[in-house]
Chain A
């Protein structure tokens, strides 16, 4: 491929791109601008989704439905789930960091299809606004983010249709992004750079994009059929007209289980970038890491029916999906041991980025363990659709993906802005989040096991105390965003100047100025074949150190 040799067209680039802060509100084609657009846009939706979560937790402080009307409660939980998944985690772990980092990592000046890239981003704000505004127009969808028929067919149609349209737009955006990442990683690599020399995040994004491109169309097709059932009264999923509701669940989870990996594989990639830099050690087991990503991608396609163990699925099917799901824990486990081995024997700077990454490891392991338990049919028939499942997936998506997003912001902020974040505020943010998160979600395991179903506004009064504890945790999580927001805003103006490479990292995004110029490098892109080649800076300090410990010893 000749496009790999993108010429440096610095002057032209500068002229074509809008400059100043206005470029973030423009149809900019610069992958870095688009990355930041994704990040900020996603964060705004995170605040909205978080507000909805707070409303849910306020409602649940008392066992009766008293804070909002019952149908509004269902709208709120539907919007909360949809926003957090489709407008915050998926766009940020893929779109934001993917766009910003992938071109650097492959040594390109931009993504393969810059215009498609901008289109993919600009589908998101209108889709999100449409989704949220449906609440004010006719009432939002109220059948949960899973939109199971016949409930989604029976509830007020307008909100459900708007929900379908926005998810279709967001799915489209996701597919455009996926195609772009695949093309960029496979075709825009700088000459001389081999696949097995790429930073791990590229592999994670390659795997994720394969999942996106193969599974999202299934979701799109399913939702289109569902919308036919709603507006044209067809009978695909409507049992009154002979439709089959379980078929919808199969189709939906065929996308939505891969979707959970779409939310977490990129996070795995980001952690693999962050830990080696701050522990000054190479990423442990690069090759196994690559293979385990690919194993997760393949297995991820054959586990969907673990969401349907109580849906009247036949025994052989339950058995198959139990086995497949359990085995996905093996490649996932490998990655965790490799990260711990990366830390082990390093020189770890205990900064906010590392703390959030380690918080991720701890939280995700718990989520993975409850996941394996849930994969066992006999176990799942008790806790399916209860707060136990709510706890499981929040440990994964919040304790996992969101922790990694914060970790990544602490790590790459100096590159994004040229200034450092305040470390003290970062630690306060971490401890508030970590404590609040665990206080909020750990008790929910018990709630589910003891009889509290999910998606309810009223519940057995014996659960009141534990729910109140959980709500206190949610309050801490809400408070934790304050130091974070303050930190990011004020450091952008007053933060300590970062310099090009404050962490002395080896990956290519640090080998240019902070923030980088429009086409990433003045002159040739550097050829980085050992992105994790830490460990060279050893000898001289070791001498000094051993002498002074000897002195102490004597």
Chain B
């Protein structure tokens, strides 16, 4: 028994291509008198179109409106959240699409009592297969290009900023690889803001923050809002990782190989610093706080703790 594919238009062709050859009654089916009962391609295509629209709009709606992220408190976090929304929307649409397809096929094509026949002997369909190779490939390409753009905006591709660290006796051979956030430093430098250099030491099971300018050593990280911070991090023992969820930033802190991390906080508040790399029994307790303050408050904290008082510009 052969069905007649009717729609020639591209979209409905692909949508109905899935239904027409089944030889089964669709959810909308019309029985013609004395003839084979068959799916009327148009109504089935409409049904499919409705479902596809539902998946598309529902997925996009969820992707745009459901917030799964904590507060965004750095320049980088805002950019991150844009990327997240896009990925979340695409992902939800794809996921809902597959779930709907699986559930629909289980409902429509389940064996009803008394049925003994086989399904149709369809071994493949080159057009369809090219279609669903090309679509994911295009989606992936788009995701890749877009996330490259985001990555670039976050400063991932920037060449290493050395500003703020010249005085740290950094030997030429030492390999420090730039992380996300590095470009904020240079763009801030253009605006006349200097990055605050901070040296971070991680050890089992604490972070220490060293401000070379005031020779402050602190267990809490204090930074002023709106000013870039440039951290050079090294571990004394095992690998740790510096993570501030509200900044959407993470960088491993490695023994024997310094890493850098830069960020610009945009909101005042106290945010957790979390060690994200298994580092021993008290790994879960290895936490600290970053205190983002108004510049005045930061200055007074700084002056109070500085061993060598310096005059700030």
Counting CB contacts under 8 A, is A8 at the interface?
no
Counting CB contacts under 8 A, is B105 at the interface?
yes
B-contacting residues, A335-365, CB 8 Å: 336-338, 340-341, 343-350, 354, 358, 361-362, 365
Of the candidates B117, B137, B284, the one whose C-beta lies within 8 Å of that of A537 is B117
Q: How far is the CB of B81 from chain A (nearest CB, A)?
A: 10
Chain A residues within an 8 Å CB radius of B129: 285, 288, 334, 337-338
User: Is there an interface contact between A536 and B110, defined as CB atoms closer than 8 Å?
Assistant: no
Q: A334-B129, A362-B98 are in contact. Are A449 and B254 (CB under 8 A)?
A: no
Counting CB contacts under 8 A, is B24 at the interface?
yes
Task: Give 1 or 0 for each of B169-208: 1 = CB within 8 Å of chain A CB.
Answer: 0000000011110000000000000000000000000000
**Bound state CA distance, A319 and B154, in angstroms?**
14
Q: How far is the CB of A394 from chain B (nearest CB, A)?
A: 16
**Bound state CA distance, A361 and B98, in angstroms?**
8
Q: How far is the CB of A41 from chain B (nearest CB, A)?
A: 29
Interface centre among A74, A312, A537, A553 (most CB of B within 10 A): A312
Of the candidates B33, B91, B275, the one whose C-beta lies within 8 Å of that of A453 is B275
The stretch of B210-218, B241-249, B294-302 that contacts the partner chain: B241-249
**Bound state CA distance, A326 and B144, in angstroms?**
7
Q: How far is the CB of A276 from chain B (nearest CB, A)?
A: 9
Chain A residues within an 8 Å CB radius of B56: none
**Bound state CA distance, A457 and B285, in angstroms?**
9
User: Is there an interface contact between A312 and B259, defined as CB atoms closer than 8 Å?
Assistant: yes
Counting CB contacts under 8 A, is A486 at the interface?
no
**Bound state CA distance, A169 and B131, in angstroms?**
45
**Bound state CA distance, A245 and B106, in angstroms?**
50
User: Is there an interface contact between A550 and B37, defined as CB atoms closer than 8 Å?
Assistant: yes
User: Is there an interface contact between B237 and A385, defined as CB atoms closer than 8 Å?
Assistant: no
B-contacting residues, A477-496, CB 8 Å: none
Counting CB contacts under 8 A, is A526 at the interface?
no
User: Is there an interface contact between B243 and A453, defined as CB atoms closer than 8 Å?
Assistant: yes
Task: Give 1 or 0 for each of A303-337: 1 = CB within 8 Å of chain B CB.
Answer: 00000001111110011001100110110011011
Q: A154-B237, A365-B98, A379-B80 are in contact. Are A285 and B124 (CB under 8 A)?
A: yes
Of the candidates A336, A445, A553, the one whose C-beta lies within 8 Å of that of B37 is A553
The stretch of B5-13, B145-153, B220-228, B305-313 that contacts the partner chain: B145-153
Counting CB contacts under 8 A, is A513 at the interface?
no
User: Is there an interface contact between B121 and A369, defined as CB atoms closer than 8 Å?
Assistant: no
Chain B residues within an 8 Å CB radius of A142: 281
Number of interface residues of B (CB under 8 A): 92
User: Is there an interface contact between A343 and B124, defined as CB atoms closer than 8 Å?
Assistant: no
Q: A150-B237, A280-B117, A350-B110 are in contact. Are A239 and B68 (CB under 8 A)?
A: no
B-contacting residues, A365-412, CB 8 Å: 365-366, 369-370, 372-373, 376-379, 381-382, 384-386
Q: How far is the CB of B129 from chain A (nearest CB, A)?
A: 5
Chain A residues within an 8 Å CB radius of B99: 362, 365
Q: A285-B129, A287-B124 are in contact. Are A541 and B37 (CB under 8 A)?
A: no
Least CB separation from A345: chain B residue = B22
Counting CB contacts under 8 A, is B49 at the interface?
no
Counting CB contacts under 8 A, is B165 at the interface?
no
**Bound state CA distance, A290 and B70, in angstroms?**
43
B-contacting residues, A51-69, CB 8 Å: 65, 69
Chain A residues within an 8 Å CB radius of B147: 322, 376-379
B-contacting residues, A439-489, CB 8 Å: 445-446, 449-451, 453-460
Interface centre among B115, B128, B255, B277 (most CB of A within 10 A): B277
**Bound state CA distance, A74 and B255, in angstroms?**
21
Counting CB contacts under 8 A, is A148 at the interface?
yes
Counting CB contacts under 8 A, is A244 at the interface?
yes
Q: How far is the CB of A316 from chain B (nearest CB, A)?
A: 9
**Bound state CA distance, A146 and B18, in angstroms?**
44
Of the candidates A240, A312, A373, the one whose C-beta lies within 8 Å of that of B251 is A312
Majority-rule SS of B interface residues: mixed
User: Is there an interface contact between A449 and B69, defined as CB atoms closer than 8 Å?
Assistant: yes
**Bound state CA distance, A330 and B137, in angstroms?**
6
User: Is there an interface contact between A450 and B69, defined as CB atoms closer than 8 Å?
Assistant: yes
**Bound state CA distance, A313 and B254, in angstroms?**
12
User: Is there an interface contact between A345 and B156, defined as CB atoms closer than 8 Å?
Assistant: no
Counting CB contacts under 8 A, is B250 at the interface?
yes
User: Is there an interface contact between B278 and A344, defined as CB atoms closer than 8 Å?
Assistant: no
Counting CB contacts under 8 A, is A155 at the interface?
yes
Counting CB contacts under 8 A, is A281 at the interface?
yes
Task: Give 1 or 0 for each of B108-139: 1 = CB within 8 Å of chain A CB.
Answer: 01110001111111111100110011001100
User: Is there an interface contact between B109 and A376, defined as CB atoms closer than 8 Å?
Assistant: no
**Bound state CA distance, A6 and B252, in angstroms?**
57
Least CB separation from A341: chain B residue = B128
Counting CB contacts under 8 A, is A423 at the interface?
no
A-contacting residues, B1-47, CB 8 Å: 1, 18, 21-25, 31, 33-34, 36-37
User: Is there an interface contact between B1 and A542, defined as CB atoms closer than 8 Å?
Assistant: yes
Counting CB contacts under 8 A, is B57 at the interface?
no
User: Is there an interface contact between B156 and A312, defined as CB atoms closer than 8 Å?
Assistant: no
User: Is there an interface contact between A553 and B132, defined as CB atoms closer than 8 Å?
Assistant: no
User: Is there an interface contact between B248 and A381, defined as CB atoms closer than 8 Å?
Assistant: yes
Chain A residues within an 8 Å CB radius of B69: 449-450
Of the candidates B24, B83, B151, B177, the one whose C-beta lies within 8 Å of that of A345 is B24
User: Is there an interface contact between B105 and A340, defined as CB atoms closer than 8 Å?
Assistant: yes
Of the candidates B106, B117, B151, the one whose C-beta lies within 8 Å of that of A538 is B117
Counting CB contacts under 8 A, is A70 at the interface?
yes
**Bound state CA distance, A236 and B299, in angstroms?**
45
Q: A340-B98, A341-B128 are in contact. Are A330 and B284 (CB under 8 A)?
A: no
Q: How far is the CB of A172 from chain B (nearest CB, A)?
A: 27
User: Is there an interface contact between B157 and A282, defined as CB atoms closer than 8 Å?
Assistant: no
A-contacting residues, B260-295, CB 8 Å: 272, 274-285
User: Is there an interface contact between A151 and B36, defined as CB atoms closer than 8 Å?
Assistant: no
**Bound state CA distance, A536 and B123, in angstroms?**
13
User: Is there an interface contact between A451 and B274, defined as CB atoms closer than 8 Å?
Assistant: yes
User: Is there an interface contact between B121 and A282, defined as CB atoms closer than 8 Å?
Assistant: yes
Q: How far is the CB of A533 from chain B (nearest CB, A)?
A: 8
**Bound state CA distance, A42 and B132, in angstroms?**
36
**Bound state CA distance, A363 and B272, in angstroms?**
32
Counting CB contacts under 8 A, is B168 at the interface?
no
**Bound state CA distance, A14 and B102, in angstroms?**
46
Chain B residues within an 8 Å CB radius of A301: none
Task: Give 1 or 0 for each of A512-554: 1 = CB within 8 Å of chain B CB.
Answer: 0000000000000000000011111110111001100110011
Q: How far is the CB of A115 from chain B (nearest CB, A)?
A: 40
Counting CB contacts under 8 A, is A37 at the interface?
no
User: Is there an interface contact between B31 and A553, defined as CB atoms closer than 8 Å?
Assistant: yes
Q: Which 5 A-B pairs have the closest CB atoms?
A: A535-B121, A239-B256, A456-B284, A281-B119, A345-B22
Instruction: Give 29 A-B contacts (CB < 8 Å), ordered by A residue.
Output: A74-B283, A151-B280, A281-B118, A285-B124, A286-B123, A312-B259, A313-B177, A314-B177, A315-B178, A318-B156, A319-B151, A333-B132, A334-B133, A344-B105, A344-B109, A345-B120, A358-B106, A366-B95, A372-B87, A372-B140, A376-B83, A378-B151, A381-B250, A385-B243, A537-B116, A538-B117, A542-B1, A542-B23, A553-B37
Interface residues of B (CB under 8 A from A): 1, 18, 21-25, 31, 33-34, 36-37, 68-70, 79-80, 83-84, 87, 91, 94-95, 98-99, 101-102, 105-106, 109-111, 115-125, 128-129, 132-133, 136-137, 140, 143-144, 147-148, 150-151, 154, 156-157, 177-180, 237-239, 241, 243, 245, 248-252, 254-257, 259, 272, 274-285
Q: Known pairs A344-B105, A377-B147, A385-B277. 6 more at Cβ < 8 A? A: A329-B140, A349-B111, A369-B91, A376-B151, A546-B36, A549-B31
